[in-house]
A and B are shown apart, each in its own frame.
Chain A
Amino acid sequence: MRWRALACLLLGLVLLAGCWDQMDISDRATVLMLSVVWKAPGRLDWTFYFPNPTVTVNSQSQIRSTQQLYAVGVAAGTLAGAERAAQRQLDRHLYLGQLQVLLWSSNLPAAAAGELLDAYNRQGIASKVAYVGLAPASALSHLLQASPQEVVPRLKWQHVFSCAACESMRLSEPLWHVWDDAHTPGMSPVAPYINSHGELGQIAVYGRQGPPVLFSRRQTLGWALLTGRATREVLTVSRGAQHYTLTAVHGSAATRVAWSGGQLWVDARMALSGTLAEAPYGTAERPAEIRTIEAATARLLVADCKAAIDQANARRVDPFGYARALLFGHPQWLKHGSSIKWSALPVHAAITVSFNVTTPGVTS
């Protein structure tokens, strides 16, 4: 009996621990980044980026940044087709479980982007916490070159997106957020946009169809303020010929959403603050002076928020999730009012900003 029990136990250990399914790490082609460029309906260019397996702990410091990653490019209509085509070029098993960054071209239409996200999300082992981003099609391959600042398996864009201290606004979105937003009525999916110079500071918003709507830097700031994502923005406020620079601009937004007369009404009140970092030479920081700067800054930020709302209304998107907030409060409306296109509703917003300037400078 004891031997039988021992045999059962050993068998169970082997089977349940998954040891028999294990694949040596050197037999896997671990995809770290994936870029997708949209060419035409059903025609996409896919590039899978892998860490160069010849990079070892000892060689890391000597190896050139251009040699740290190797890329496999294929043309295919679907993600599964691209994986098969890439697999044919590889001598290792293609593995998406460690994907860190998924970038696609900013001309990818909403339907194709939704299909891509759905197909990826269906794969149980594929990493759902990979960061997503959009970039101009022409710049993608250039942007994805390994950075001299990083040594694989660390990647520049993974760091950019995960570095909370680097961002002035919290723009980064993991894949599962975007997928989740795409499947929630009353919300237009948002992803960060990297321009052709490799700068992050704008968002791209997907409407119901067509390519994504780009928000300018100013509109993006308005969006970030309204969604409480501004963390350390830098602003310059002008009063006549005098310029004041505020740093660490951040704060929270208290939003109330209401449905009245077939319209979506939003009351957004923001309590923001910033640090006075630069003022004209010789200016004394008197309370009256500070109050004027505060009022001017508040006016400027209200205008930014309005610019974001106007852009959203003009392009029939809701990157703020206002209609979603409304539906979360009244879930039964979804079933009865299914004819309403919740994420394409115009928003009537009342925006109030109260700004507080802090002056913790060494000099005053």
Chain B
Amino acid sequence: MKAAAEPISPGQYFWLIMVAVVAGSVYLWPAYVVGLAGSGGYVSLWIATGVAAGVAAIQVSWMRRMVYRPYAVAMKDTWSPALGTVLAWITMALMMALDVVILYLYGELLQTFFYPATPSWVTIGAIGGLAVWIAIRSLAVVARNVQLWFPLLLASFVVVLALSAGDMRFPSAAAPNLAEPVSSMARASVATWFLYANPCAAATLLPYVRRGKRSSSGKLAVAAMALQGIILTTILFSALATLGPMPIANMTWPIIYVFSVVQVRTFFVQDVGMLILITWTVAMILHLGVHMFVVSWNVGPPLGGVNPQRQYLVAGIGLAIVLGALAIGSVAEAKVWLFQVLTPLDLAWTVILVPATALTAWWRTRGRRSAA
């Protein structure tokens, strides 16, 4: 199987970045943030979105300076071969750890709302397996799948969101509250970061965009973050207007609750809101698939172009994520790991490493012209 070769288009790059953030973990939004900051969550969300867009912009400019070499190679060239490898590996490990928790929680959500009689290892294993199946393909195949499915998922999501408009009882509760204390908004911003915690997909995939389109594609990574921010804002509005801030803080998965009460009497199928099950499962598979793809490219042996062993590496990564997810004991434990350990850790790592890498690269390559 060819591992590199066929380049992707800027549009495909945009959809890949969209699916690499938010798409897998959106189902957890916005319970924790509303619990911390109430309707001040909008501010927290846009701070996190701004940080994500900034990180993406820095990574893109660093990639341009590194002449669009593969991420792992660029890290080695920026730092030293040993240090670059270690830093890249830690970044990948954090990404995988977050995927572990997110996959576990999604399996629990499926069991709670849809498959009460099915053990959660079945759904977790099936989603992990399908993500591996996608990730062992070449980048162009993954990109084409994401390009086909993700806009459709987005459209179905918008339909369900629009149908839930009739249940919005408290528009006044959904107005942004700017009087929230800065400390709680800051904590809520940190707790929002898990949605954007993909420190390297934007940089990893950029070198594979068609030659000549790369510098313009960098802007698309920032645009993808902004679009996800807009989607998350509408979800936050919908949850606040439907349930009000206090009940949301008591819930694990408020948005699935909002969708589960959508009833359309004129259709043959009443519970149209359950369409979201398909949307989120496909989004989760694509999200994990892209992440596994990114990790396998960045931790694998240096890629001159072809790496036939990559599929075994992907399978190993997938197995590690699934086994990790199965090792988590409870939803409460997973939430502590996600919100209090991994998310702050990943945020700190990202906002230190990414600018530091870009500055080091700039220092080392100063005087040279950056590539187009």
Contacts and interface: CB of A to CB of B under 8 A. Distances in A.
Given A8-B130, A21-B117, A328-B244, A124 B250 contact: no
Contacts of A5: 133
Contact of B123 (A8, A15, A179): A15
A5 B118 CA distance: 25
A205 to B, nearest CB: 18
Contacts of A16: 123, 126-127, 130, 281
Interface string B325-339: 000000000000000
A256 B257 CA distance: 30
Interface stretch (A32-40, A180-188, A303-311): A180-188
Interface string B92-115: 000000000000000000011111
B260 interface: yes
A21 B39 CA distance: 39
A179 B39 CA distance: 20
Contact of B261 (A129, A184, A324): A129
A331 interface: yes
A329 interface: yes
B172 interface: yes
Contacts of B126: 11-12, 15-16
A90 B319 CA distance: 42
Of B1, B250, B261, the most chain A CB neighbours within 10 A belong to: B261
A11 B246 contact: no
B177 interface: yes
Interface residues of A, number: 32
User: Which secondary structure dominates chain A's binding surface?
Assistant: helix
A174 interface: yes
B117 to A, nearest CB: 6
B243 interface: yes
Contacts of B169: 177
A125 interface: yes
Given A8-B130, A11-B129, A15-B122, A332 B177 contact: yes
A184 B247 contact: yes
A125 B246 contact: no
B263 A129 contact: yes
Contacts of B245: 331
B118 A21 contact: yes
A128 interface: yes
Interface string B158-185: 0000000000011011010101110000
